């Protein structure tokens, strides 16, 4: 079976993607999200991902949490939407591709592709560019039709469903 390294942002998004990928891939979830602020939010999302994958995905690979990695790529454009988001996508997909290549995965992808709130075509473009750089395939799928089902499954499981992407600027924007 094809081995997929799936960058996973949270449990609800994983549940949305799961329906489509479960019979296509052997999945390892990669939790690399240095954009998530504050630390308590990061921990809450990680714990809920662990609950979401129970009985589904075999592994969660958690990389170190260092918000300065995110800050370094968005410094100077942190208040600029969508520029900061594109840099954030690139940061997380680049790390996913690097790990996929290093650990001999066949393909990599991201659960960000399930969200109607993300810049879907930009994610696809960035994923394909990085795939060529690392010589590992980017698996593209438009998982947006599965978004509501993932949210409903998370609600049923009583998982935390966040209201912002993770960075402090997006949190501030929803509070305006």
> Across the strands, what pairs with 59?
28
pLDDT number for residue 82: 87
pLDDT number for residue 176: 43
pLDDT tens-digit profile, the chain (176 residues): 999 999 999 999 999 999 899 999 999 999 999 999 999 999 999 999 999 999 898 799 999 999 999 999 998 988 888 899 999 999 999 999 999 999 999 999 999 999 999 999 999 999 999 999 999 999 999 999 999 999 999 999 999 998 767 777 565 665 54
Domains of the chain: 2-174 (3.40.50.620)
Q: Is-cis flag, bond preceding 82, omega within 30?
A: yes
pLDDT number for residue 28: 97
Total Cβ atoms within 10 A of residue 116: 9
Q: What is the pTM of this model?
A: 0.94
pLDDT number for residue 164: 65
d(CA 128, CA 108): 10
**DSSP-based three-state secondary structure for 148:** helix
Q: Which residues contact 163 (CB under 8 A, 6 or more apart)?
A: 174
CB 25 within 8 A of CB 3: yes
d(CA 143, CA 14): 10
């Amino acid at each position: 079976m094809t081995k997929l390294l799936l960058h996973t942002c949270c449990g609800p998004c994983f549940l949305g993607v799961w329906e489509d990928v479960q019979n296509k891939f052997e999945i390892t979830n990669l939790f690399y999200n240095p954009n998530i602020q504050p630390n308590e939010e990061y921990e809450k999302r990680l714990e809920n991902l662990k609950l979401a994958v129970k009985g589904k995905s075999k592994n969660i690979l958690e990389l170190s949490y260092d918000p300065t990695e995110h800050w370094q790529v968005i410094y100077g454009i942190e208040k600029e939407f969508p520029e900061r988001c594109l840099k954030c996508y690139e940061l997380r997909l680049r790390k996913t591709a690097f790990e996929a290549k290093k650990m001999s995965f066949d393909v990599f992808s991201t659960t960000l592709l399930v969200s109607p709130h993300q810049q879907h075509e930009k994610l696809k473009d960035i994923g394909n560019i990085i795939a060529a750089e690392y010589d590992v395939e980017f698996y593209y799928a438009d998982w947006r039709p599965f978004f509501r089902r993932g949210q409903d499954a998370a609600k049923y499981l009583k998982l935390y469903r966040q209201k912002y992407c993770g960075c402090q600027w997006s949190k501030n924007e929803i509070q305006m």
